[in-house]
Amino acid sequence: MTRQVLKKGIKRGIHFLAAVCFLFIATAFSSYAADGTVQVQLDVKKAGPRAVESLTERGVLRDYQFAWTNMARAFEFSSPDLLEGAFSGDAKQELRQTVSSQQRSHITRRYVDQSHQVEAVFYAPEGDVMELHDTAQYQLQILDGDKTVHDEHVVVHYIVLMTPAADRWVIRELQAVPQF
């Protein structure tokens, strides 16, 4: 009798552990997928008056993708800390206000399957500011708690100002416009 109870207990324990492991793996894959859906293509041919160096181009591409990934997470989870390190100045202030507004109203938003076609249109002579034009496409979902109140595939044009910080490029201005 005791042995049978023990066996049952062990079986249940194994099932529980398997479920937990599956949950972790599933979460990991979904995080990976979330990172993987932010696609960015950068074209620097038209940038001037200063030519964009190849290292700078790589850095801007990497940091722009990082910024949008973090911004999407900040909006999805209403967490302002995720905006640190990728934004500065007015952009950071505005995004933090968006997040705190979300926290008050319990509204969240998701930017899913992002694709950004980015063109550098201005690079300052001293290399201390770059203007980008981003034609962004994504699935915009707005949720009230668990209820989706808006789900639409959108194409939005952004004017972006990026400046070099200590070890990366950060977004200082992020402004949507009707057209470039």
Partner 1 sequence: MARLLQFFSILSLGALFCGVCGAQDLHAPSNVTAGEDVALPTSGSGKATFYLAGPGISQKNDVTLGEEIRLSGQDLRYAGDYTAILCSDTCHTATFYVTAAKPASVIFLVHPSRVPVGQNDAVSGVAFPFDQYRNLITVPENVNFQLSAKDASLWSRSIRTQNGVAWFRANSGKSAGPVQAVASLDDLSAKRAVQQVASDPCNLRITGQRTPNGILVQTEPVHDCAGNVVPDGTIVTFTATGPNGKGTVDAPVKQGIARAKIESPGTSVISVASGVVMGNEIRLGAQP
Partner 2 sequence: MKYAIAIILVAVTAGLMVVGLFVTAQAGGTIGIAKGSALHTAKASTPDQALNNLLADVQRRNWDRAFANVVSTGGITEPAFIQDWIGSNGSVRSFSSLEGFEVRPLHETNDEAQMRVHLHFSSPVGPIEDVRDFHLVREGDLWKAVWPKVEIPSVPAQVIPVTYLRWDLVTGSAGDEWGAKNVDSPHVRIISMNAVDSAQGSVVMGEVTNEDTVPAFVTVNATLVDGAGNAIDEESSFDKIAHVLLPKQVTPYRIDFPNLSLKNVKNVHMDVKATLVPASADPVIGVMNQKIETDSQGKSVLHGDLLNQSGETVNIPHVIVSFYDNSGKVVWVSDGYVDRALLPQSTEAFAVEIPKSLAPSIHNFHVVVNQYSLNNS
Instruction: With beta carbons less than 8 A apart as the criterion, state whether 98 and 134 touch.
Output: no
CB of 21 to partner 1, least distance (A): 36
Task: Choose the binding region for partner 1 from 6-14, 18-26, 56-64, 148-156 (rule: CB under 8 A).
Answer: 148-156
Distance of closest approach, residue 161 Cβ to partner 2, in angstroms? 9
Q: Is 172 a residue that touches partner 2 (CB under 8 A)?
A: yes
- The helix/strand count (H/E) of the chain reads as 3, 5
Binding of partner 1 at residue 90 (CB under 8 A)?
Answer: yes
Does residue number 89 form part of the binding site for partner 2 (CB under 8 A)?
yes
Q: Tokens 């990991």 belong to which residue? A: 28
Q: Record the tokens describing residue 19, joined without a space.
A: 């479920």
Distance (Å, whole) CA 120 – CA 125: 14
- H helices of the chain, in order, are 2-36, 54-77, 89-105
Q: Considering the rule CB under 8 A, would residue 129 count as an interface residue with partner 1?
A: yes
Residue tagged 């479920």 (tokens):
19
Residues that bind partner 2 (CB under 8 A): 89, 163, 172
Residues that bind partner 1 (CB under 8 A): 49, 90, 94, 97-98, 101-102, 105-107, 109, 121-122, 124-126, 128-129, 131, 133, 140, 142, 144, 149-150, 152, 156, 159, 161, 173, 175-178, 180
